[in-house]
Amino acid sequence: MSVLVDENTKVVIQGITGKHGSHHTKLMLEYNAKVLAGVTPGKGGSEVYGVPVYDTVKEALEQHPDINASLIMVPPPGVLSAAEEAIENGIPLVVIVTEHVPVHDTLKIKWLAKEYGTIVIGPNTIGIISPGKSKVGIMPGYIYSQGNIGVISRSGTMTHEISSNLTYNGIGQSTCIGIGGDPVNGLTAVEALELFKDDDETKAIVLIGEIGGSNEELVAEYIEKTNYPKQVYAFIGGQLAPQGKRMGHAGAIVQKGKGTAASKMERLKKAGVKVAKTMDELVNMIKIDGYGKAETIQKHIS
């Protein structure tokens, strides 16, 4: 198993005819992801790398009823409408890659998804990958490898960083979930942890946090409350970040000593999480504990 994404994931890409949409369609196909259709209103009837394009999600679903995930790669002003279209047409998993989505739009998407029972990932995410099986996202597949570590991260580049370091050290991943760097996310870190809890393939979890917000504190609470059965490892970025300055992500800001890396690390440790001070230490901890050998290491595919 793995969570959210596997060989049976069948994807529609909303915004497939855009520059990023078409490029990543190609990369997803190269990773053997099953991209059944694309949607761009007004471009119905065309094709992108052999993938048929439709004007609406409903039309795509009529032609390809197996579709069970959407990847949204439209510019920020179109995200709300695209997400509503996917959710209201019953697609159970919606991944929103787009950055700079107005937070009020994300709020609407998040709570609409709750009503429909849809899982929304993002926005501002690289998406999800279950290495060796499939991906719904924009990550370079070959720096990931199949194995037993679940990865949860607010930061896309940190997901690449930690997963590739694990890969190069012979440690594979079951599923890597980028929950997104914005203050409001569809799937939260706690919900991601919940998914990994019952996944046989996932033996341990890596949480990559960063300053600001209260994700890590909520995770600690959840681990304590549920007596979480799997070992969680964590690394928090921004340990020496200045206060009051927004560090790239809208969510990454320390206000008046709140949301600091130190307080998060302390809180996680208290809950039994193994917290690494450096990224190298994180990989070493996992290595020493003997978790998950990578089954396939895909290198040098460019």
Partner 1 sequence: MLLYEIEGKAIFKSYGIPIPRGEKATTPEEAKEAAEKIGSEVVLKAQISSGGRGKAGVVKFAKTPDEAKALAGQLLGKEVKGETVKLLLVEEKINIAKELYLGITLDPELQKPVIIGCAEGGMDIEEVAEKHPEKIVKQPLEVLKPFKIHQANDFMRQLGFHGKQLVQAGKILYGLVRVYFDYDATTVEINPLVITGDNEIIAADSKLVVDDSSSYRHPDLPWERLNENLKPLEKEAKEAGFPFVLLENNGYIGIIGGGAGVGLATMDTIYHHGGIPANFLDTGGGVTRERMAKALEVVLKTPGVKGVIANLFGGINNCAIMAQGIVDVLEKHKVDIPIVVKMRGHHQEEGWKLLEKYNVPLIKYGSTDEAAELLMKLVRERSAGNVSLG
Which phi and psi angles does 52 have, rounded to 5°?
A: -70, 140
* Backbone torsions φ then ψ of 169, nearest 5 degrees: -105, 15
71 bridge partner residues = 13, 95
**Nearest to partner 1 of 67, 285 (CB atom):** 285
Residue closer to partner 1, measured from CB, 61 or 87: 87
Using CB under 8 A as the criterion, what x/- string covers residues 217-256 for binding partner 1? -x----------------x-xxxxxx--xxxxxxxx---x
By CB under 8 A, name the one of 20, 34, 230, 287 that touches partner 1.
20
Query: Which of 84, 85, 99, 216 is in the footprint of partner 1 by CB under 8 A?
Result: 99
Nearer to partner 1, 208 or 223 (CB): 208
Residue 256: both structure tokens together? 């008046």
Catalytic residue (one of 23, 64, 160, 249): 249
Is 86 within 8 Å of 71 (Cβ atoms)? no
Q: Is 107 in the site for partner 1 (CB under 8 A)?
A: yes
Please identify, among the stretches 50-58, 63-71, 97-105, 225-233, the one whose residues bind partner 1 according to the rule CB under 8 A: 97-105
24 catalytic? Reply is no
Q: Which 117-176 residues touch partner 1, going by CB under 8 A?
A: 126, 138-140, 143, 153-158, 160-161, 164-165, 168
Among 17, 46, 183, 287, contact with partner 1 (rule: CB under 8 A): 183
- Site residues for partner 1, 21-50, by CB under 8 A, read 27
Q: For partner 1, which residue of 2, 14, 118, 188 counts as binding (CB under 8 A)?
A: 188
Query: In this complex, which beta carbon is closest to partner 1, that of residue 154 or of residue 274?
Result: 154
CA nearest to 207, candidates 252, 145, 153, 163: 153
Site for partner 1 in 57-76 (CB under 8 A): 76
Catalytic site positions: 249
Applying CB under 8 A, the residues found at the interface with partner 1 are 20, 27, 76-77, 97, 99-104, 107-108, 110-112, 115, 126, 138-140, 143, 153-158, 160-161, 164-165, 168, 181, 183-185, 188, 208, 210-211, 213-215, 218, 235, 237-242, 245-252, 256, 277-280, 283, 300, 302
